[in-house]
A and B are shown apart, each in its own frame.
Chain A
Amino acid sequence: MQTLVAFADLIVFAVLLLVGYGVGRIAEKAHYASIRKREKLFERVTVFSCRFPPTVSQPYQASLVCGSVVVSQDYFKAVAAGLYSIFGGRVRSYESLLDRARRESVLRMKHAALRKGASMIINVKFQTAQVPGRGVGAVELVAYGTALRPVA
């Protein structure tokens, strides 16, 4: 019992690390599965970064659409990122996190476009913002663009 108390901090650290790793991995896997499924589903909404629509023969109705997502790191990713910040190199633990956030924000933007009856989004841009707060380590990713709905 005494050793348990003496090693309490280490045990808490190890538990957080294990929970962060286990739960984080399961959540990431599930999220990727959902992302792939919806990417297929929304494939017919096309996105472009150019500012002007292709030469058109029909009139379009343009409106702003945006998709926003806030993601948080898990404990394991945070500790791993701390280590990368010492040794340098690609922060691999954050690469998958931000990849998920980027794709999710595009999916939400496409969803918004579909609800407006649009099938094309131009002038797509991304923005990130760090969510303030001590030890939060969350990031917001916004994708926005101009959805074009053909006017019959």
Chain B
Amino acid sequence: MSDWSNPRLPQEAVNVGESRPLLSFFVMVAGLGAVIAACALVLMVFAQAIAAWLPFSAEQAVAARFVKPADPGAEPEATLQALAESLVGPQGLPPGMTLKVHYNLLPVANASATVGGNITIYRGLVEAIDSENALAMVLAHEIAHIRHRDPVRSLGRGMALAVVMSAVSAGAGSAVADWLLGSAGNLTVLSFSRSQEARADADALAAVAQRYGHVAGADAFFREMQRRSASAGAAGSVPVFMRTHPATEDRLQRMQNLAADRRWATDGALMPLPPVLQAIRDARAAKELPGG
């Protein structure tokens, strides 16, 4: 029986792989992240391309679910709507496309275009401009986004990202995906690319030139925003408009070059703001100078 024996103990590292659990964990997480990001990117590009084929009526149906109905009888809205319609120009909008301008009481100096032909002008913007020409430029810019179906493209892109992320959450780390869905999903929905912005600028400038016969004062709002962000940049309170419409120096330069190319007059009489909007500006000015 002496030739029956068990091997000497302990036997280590035979059945257990030498492991650096954290390292292999992070390598795999990074790999998975890269694969998901690549999938998301491909889908987003694809969705952005096909979204423009969606009929405008479908876009309106989507918008009806989250764009609040206009406050009936709001005077600035009627004025803004009339101005927007006058900027559409003789060529009109593509068939079936409609515009609805909303006036928002928030004091942010911003304007936005979203699906369903909805444009929002914020009170802060009206307070920041002093001529109809500057307002027309902003309105025409947002109209151009809608004409080119930019909002629905962005929405398609955001939806594609949301779909990829929800697929991830069902499979692996649902918590990570939910977090991405909450922040990145919303963030990308309605931001436009640099080329989309440039195209909207060019169209808007053409619309302003057509409406007023010159482009004087058209870039007033952009310049005002640039001035504000320069003075507020250090404090970190960059105007919201600058985050959604980066008004860089070369963007203004491009507008000037375009005006020169097309031989649009760069000076002319500025139209005063319509009385309803001027009243909003005056109310603001009165608040700032309570004594005078």
Contact = CB atoms under 8 A, between A and B. Distances in A.
Main secondary structure of the interface of B (DSSP, over half): helix
Contacts of B289: none
Interface residues of A, number: 34
Interface in A48-106: 48, 54, 56, 76, 79-80, 82-84, 86-87, 90, 92-93, 95-96, 98-99, 102
B31 A87 contact: yes
Contacts of B31: 87
Interface in B6-23: 6, 9-10, 15-17, 19, 21-22
B125 to A, nearest CB: 27
8 contacts: A79-B173, A84-B28, A86-B28, A87-B32, A93-B21, A95-B15, A96-B19, A98-B15
Interface residues of B, number: 27
A7 B182 CA distance: 9
Contacts of A84: 28
B17 A95 contact: yes
A83 B170 CA distance: 14
Contacts of A21: 21-22
B178 A43 contact: no
List 5 A-B pairs, minimum CB-CB distance, nearest first.
A13-B175, A9-B175, A83-B28, A92-B19, A10-B179
A48 B9 CA distance: 15
A123 interface: no
A79 B26 CA distance: 11
Interface of A: 6-7, 9-10, 12-13, 21, 35-36, 39-40, 43, 46-48, 54, 56, 76, 79-80, 82-84, 86-87, 90, 92-93, 95-96, 98-99, 102, 120
Chain B CB within 10 A, most for which of A47, A48, A86: A86
A87 B19 CA distance: 16
B11 to A, nearest CB: 9
Nearest to B6: A46
Main secondary structure of the interface of A (DSSP, over half): helix
Given A10-B179, A13-B176, A98-B15, 10 more contacts: A6-B179, A6-B182, A9-B175, A12-B175, A43-B6, A80-B24, A80-B28, A83-B172, A99-B16, A102-B15
Nearest to A7: B179
Contact of B25 (A39, A83, A90, A98): A83
Contacts of B19: 92-93, 95-96
A96 B16 contact: yes
B215 to A, nearest CB: 43
A104 to B, nearest CB: 13
Contacts of A83: 25, 28-29, 32, 172
Nearest to A39: B9
B1 interface: yes
